[in-house]
Amino acid sequence: MAISVSASSDRRYPAPPSSEEQAQFVAAAMATEGVNVPADALAAIAPYIAEPVKDLLVTGDDGVERLDWKQRISELRTEAGTAWVLELDTAGLAGTVWERNPRISTAWKAPADPRASGEKDALPELKVYAGTDSRLCAAFYAEFESVERIIEVIEKSAAVLAKNESKRASGLAESLSAKGQRHPCLLVAQQYRAPQVGIWSWVAVTGNNRIKAKRVMHGVDQASLITSTPTVVTEWLVDWAERNNAVIGVGADDEPAAQAVKVAVVRTQLVVGTDNPALLQHIVHSSNMADHLAPPLAFEANELNRGRGMAVIAAYVKASLIDPVPRQNGRIAIDLPVCVIDGEVPQAQ
Domain ranges of the chain: 19-301
Give the pLDDT score at 87: 97
Q: Taking 60 as the threshold, does the pLDDT of residue 70 lie above it?
A: yes
pLDDT of amino acid 201: 96
Of 151 and 104, which is predicted with more confidence?
151
Residue 32, pLDDT > 90, answer yes
**CA 322, 326, 327, 328 torsion-angle sign:** positive
Secondary structure element (H or E) that encloses residue 117, with its range? none
Interval 152-180: pLDDT, tens? 999 888 888 877 665 554 578 888 888 88
- Whether residue 17 is preceded by a cis peptide bond, meaning omega within 30 degrees of 0, is no
Higher pLDDT, 85 or 320: 85
| 206 has a pLDDT exceeding 60 | yes
State the virtual CA torsion across 239, 240, 242, 243 in degrees, nearest 10.
110
**pLDDT grade for 311, boundaries at 50, 70 and 90:** low
What is each CA distance from 12 to 22, 105, 174, 264, 268, in whole angstroms?
21, 37, 19, 7, 18
Reply yes or no on whether the pLDDT at 337 is more than 50. Answer: no
- Residue 307 is predicted with a pLDDT of 63
At position 190, the amino acid (one-letter code) is Q
Taking the C-alpha atoms of residue 222 and residue 34, their distance in angstroms, rounded to an integer, is: 31
Judge contact between 226 and 96, C-beta under 8 A: yes
Global confidence as pTM:
0.83
pLDDT of residue 7: 43
Helices (H) and strands (E) in the chain, counts: 10, 11
Over residues 50-62, mean pLDDT: 96
Cα separation, 157 vs 140, in Å, equals 17
How far is Cα 197 from Cα 195, in angstroms, rounded to an integer?
A: 5
- Going through 92-155 in order, the beta strands assigned E by DSSP cover 108-109, 121-122, 127-130, 136-143
Helix (H, G, I), strand (E, B) or coil at 84: strand
Amino acid at 214: K
Most confident range, picked from 100-109, 165-174, 222-231: 222-231
User: Mean pLDDT throughout 313-327?
Assistant: 66
Q: Are 191 and 200 in contact (CB under 8 A)?
A: yes
Buried b (16+ CB within 10 A) or exposed e, 258-269: bbbbbbbbbbbb
Measured distance CA(125)–CA(152) in Å, rounded: 17
For the chain, what is the radius of gyration of the CA atoms? 21
CA angle 5, 252, 245 (to 5 degrees): 45
Q: Report which residue type is found at 7.
A: A
Over residues 251-294, the pLDDT tens digits come to 767 688 888 999 999 999 999 999 999 989 888 887 666 555 55
Which of 97, 100, 76 lies closest to 86, judged by CA? 76
